[in-house]
């Protein structure tokens, strides 16, 4: 992400240090991660110490300091999903993508995470891809859902 684009995002928020989290969210949303160069530019433009920005970026789970895939895959491993076969869904995603929870594939296509609950227990097992909820998943339905995001 170039510094001109970072500047545009900062300017969109009035160049205010009070908008730091929203600025980070916008960069994360567009770039899928927070490059060090972007954080340094934010520090410079907002006159906020780099260490404070880094602290915020590491505190919130929504932020990543390493590249993430274009498609964020979250698999619910909560009780309702677990008893309905969430592990088989997770195994299918791992087999198809070649990655484990917490990893991103080398093509930066997918990042995989497990979560404790997605809030739609009646639909379990549930997988969320880029914010889209897919419920009552089976290994075959999981493979079909992933194909839509290739």
150 pLDDT above the threshold of 90: no
Rounded to the nearest integer, the mean pLDDT of the chain is 94
Which residues, at least 6 apart from 44, have a Cβ–Cβ distance to it below 8 Å? Answer: none
Query: pLDDT by residue (tens digit) across 124-136?
Result: 999 999 999 999 9
DSSP state of 65: S
Query: pLDDT by residue (tens digit) across 6-30?
Result: 999 999 999 889 999 999 999 998 8
- Do the bridges between strand 110-115 and strand 71-76 make them parallel or antiparallel, or are there none, so unpaired? parallel
Of the candidates 73, 67, 68, which has an alpha carbon nearest to the alpha carbon of residue 148? 73
pLDDT of 19: 93
1 pLDDT above the threshold of 80: no
Statement: 71-147 belongs to CATH 3.40.30.10: yes
Q: Hey, what are 134's tokens? A: 């897919």
What is the strand order of the sheet 127-129 is part of?
110-115, 71-76, 127-129, 132-134
- Residue 23, Cβ neighbours under 10 Å: how many? 23
Q: Is 105 exposed, middle or buried (0-12, 13-18, 19+ CB in 10 A)?
A: middle
User: Could you give the CA distance from residue 22 to residue 37 in angstroms, rounded to a whole number?
Assistant: 17
Provide the residue ranges of all domains of the chain, joining segments of one domain with +: 3-59, 71-147
pLDDT of 61: 80
pLDDT of 85: 96
pLDDT of 32: 87
Tell me the whole-structure pTM to 2 decimals. Answer: 0.77
- Residue 92, Cβ neighbours under 10 Å: how many? 21
How far is the CA of 85 from the CAs of 39, 79, 110, 114, in angstroms? 41, 10, 22, 14
Query: pLDDT by residue (tens digit) across 90-141?
Result: 999 999 999 999 999 999 999 999 999 999 999 999 999 999 999 999 999 9
């Amino acid at each position: 992400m170039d510094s001109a684009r970072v500047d545009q995002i900062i300017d969109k928020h009035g160049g205010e240090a009070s908008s730091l989290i929203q600025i980070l969210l916008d960069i994360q949303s567009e770039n899928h991660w927070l490059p060090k160069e972007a954080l340094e530019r934010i520090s410079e433009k907002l006159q906020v110490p780099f260490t404070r920005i880094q602290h915020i970026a590491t505190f919130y789970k929504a932020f990543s300091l390493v590249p993430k895939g274009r498609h964020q895959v979250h698999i619910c491993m909560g009780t309702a999903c677990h008893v309905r076969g969430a592990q088989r869904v997770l195994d299918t995603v791992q087999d198809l993508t070649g990655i484990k929870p917490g990893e991103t594939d080398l093509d930066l296509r997918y990042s995989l995470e497990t979560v404790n609950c997605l809030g739609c227990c009646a639909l379990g097992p549930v997988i969320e891809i880029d914010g889209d909820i897919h419920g009552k998943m089976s290994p075959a339905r999981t493979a079909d859902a992933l194909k839509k995001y290739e």
